[in-house]
Amino acid sequence: MDTKDFLLALDEMLELDPGTLTGTEELESLDNWDSLAVISFIALVDEKLGLVVEGEKLAKAKTVADLLALAGVAVPA
Amino acid sequence: MVASVVHGVTIAGVTACLPERRETVADLAARFGAEAAERIAKATGIEARHLVPPHQCTSDLAEAAARALLDGLGWDAAGIDLLVNVSQTHDHILPSSGFLLHRRLGLGKQAAVLDLGLGCSGYVYGLWTAAAMLRACNGRRALLIAGDTTSRVLDPNDRSVAPLFGDAAAATALVADPDAPLMAFTLGSDGAGAPYLAVPGGGLRRPDEPPHLFMDGTQVFAFTLREVPGSIRAALDLAGWTMAGVDRLVLHQANAQMVRHLARKLGAAPGQTVLALAGHGNTSSASIPLALASALPEELAAERRRLLLSGFGVGWSWGSAAVEIGPLAVCGTTLLSADGRPAIPAGAARDAGLSANSAGDAENSA
């Protein structure tokens, strides 16, 4: 799964218009990024990439780019 | 991981008891706002939960479930060899509630009583313990009770837990039967998970702190994805089954997203996967038997079915079981009113379809 597809999947998960997220966004600035979204994110990464994200690392994520890095997806330059 | 096969024991019946009072999304909206309440319901699949009034305890629900079961089976309580009671919400610090139920149900002095302090993995652990110990004592009949009143140990204004948990207890009858199909169990534990799902207060370590449930949902979900699929595959292997040969996958009913995700990961079809939490929420150790009694009563009363059960949670603790059961003589749910009377008479457990259907209607109309 490439970066673009992953960002689109995150858009859908957070009920944003496709193409909204670019990677630079602070998670705190996203209305729907809450404990429910965190669980959806873990499910998304597991389903698309077969990887279980570590809870401790996820708790430290600050930006959408941090989420991409956790999922092992290339972070946009 | 423990892998254990038990021969010569089968399940004769399963009943569950819910308190009559329900809390719905509308009730949550009043506390947390309509938008948050709707979002939580959509994400979890939980539309309503049954909650005990302040004067009712888990043992009250357990007693009603057990009476419905014993009445339905025509079993004499005095002839039960073993009572295993799984709960984390006891009436008292001591004695544990198993002994209160021994007295209230009229069990005899020859019976062994054992309490297990487990939550969402507790039904599988309890089934393993009851089946294995019934064989070990060369007994004939065992009663397994599993349930919690989690609403009594959480802050109703804590939106991270209050919308998720409901109260229930279930009773399962086990009987020695030399011709019974094997029961295959896999069990595991990891105490590193203790801080993430806990009621730290109200015990002896922190006596001045109120007993309020804390849950780190991220850690719970990550733990579940890490451990449960392997546990289930190992139970299938131990029984010599494949997922395609399972009639019903009955996972601990924590939330719909988790159940669906695990089922997909395991290659189970939606038709195999039991989802029975919309009207109940997460009912801790009662969730698996409540799912059997509320979603599958006609099916289990009519024919023999291959079930794959898996529970996981507080501890961390997890267990899976491959069991082939049915036709069950008794399978259904009952309600307990606030004044302590069964709102559906206990004898109606035989009419399992009636009570199960009414619970289902409640879910659909929520």
CATH number of domain containing A60: 1.10.1200.10
B357 counts as catalytic: no
Q: Are A35 and A51 in contact (CB under 8 A)?
A: no
**What is the C-alpha to C-alpha distance for residues B278 and B258, in angstroms, rounded to an integer?**
13
How many C-beta neighbours within 10 Å does residue B302 have?
Answer: 13
State which H helix or E strand residue B320 sits in. Answer: strand B317-325
- CB under 8 Å to B48, separation ≥6 — which residues? B22, B23, B24, B25, B278, B279, B280, B281, B362, B363, B366
State which H helix or E strand residue A56 sits in. Answer: helix A55-60
Task: Give residue A76's pLDDT.
Answer: 64
Total tally of structural domains belonging to chain A: 1
Choose the catalytic residue: B50, B57, B90, B120: B120
In a domain, A76, yes or no: no
**What is the C-alpha to C-alpha distance for residues A70 and A48, in angstroms, rounded to an integer?**
13
Closest to B281 in 3D by CA, of B19, B31, B65, B14: B19
Residues B72-103 pLDDT 10s: 999 999 999 999 999 999 999 999 999 999 99
Paired tokens of B245: 């040969």
Cis (ω within 30 of 0) for the bond into B316? yes
- Name the residue in chain B with its Cα closest to that of A54: B222
Residues B27-64 pLDDT 10s: 999 999 999 999 999 999 999 999 999 999 999 999 99
Compute the average pLDDT of residues B319-341: 95
Compute the average pLDDT of residues B189-194: 97
- CATH code at B29? 3.40.47.10
pTM of the predicted model as reported, rounded to 2 decimal places = 0.92
Task: Give residue B344's pLDDT.
Answer: 58
Task: Mark yes or no for CB contact B261/A54 under 8 Å.
Answer: no
Task: Give residue B345's pLDDT.
Answer: 46
Mutate to test the interface with A, among B46, B215, B218, B259 (most CBs of A within 10 A): B218
Task: Mark yes or no for CB contact A46/B261 under 8 Å.
Answer: yes
Total tally of structural domains belonging to chain B: 1
In a domain, A8, yes or no: yes
Residues of chain B contacting A67 with CB distance shorter than 8 Å: none
Compute the average pLDDT of residues B201-209: 96
Task: Mark yes or no for CB contact A43/B226 under 8 Å.
Answer: no
Confidence of residue B366 (pLDDT cuts 50, 70, 90): very low
Cis (ω within 30 of 0) for the bond into B181? no
Task: Mark yes or no for CB contact B257/A40 under 8 Å.
Answer: yes
- CB under 8 Å to B291, separation ≥6 — which residues? B250, B253, B274, B276, B277
B92 counts as catalytic: no
Domain around B123: 2-365
Closest to B289 in 3D by CA, of B128, B166, B134, B124: B124
Q: Nearest CA of chain A to the CA of B363: how many Å?
A: 22
B252 counts as catalytic: yes
Task: Give residue B102's pLDDT.
Answer: 98
Q: Are B283 and B289 in contact (CB under 8 A)?
A: no
Is residue B285 over pLDDT 50? yes
Domain around A17: 3-70
Residues of chain B contacting A14 with CB distance shorter than 8 Å: none
- The 8-class DSSP code of residue B188 comes to E
Q: Please state, rounded to an integer, the average pLDDT across all residues of chain B.
A: 93
Residues 25-64 of A with CB under 8 A from B: 35-36, 38-40, 42-43, 46-47, 52-55, 58-59
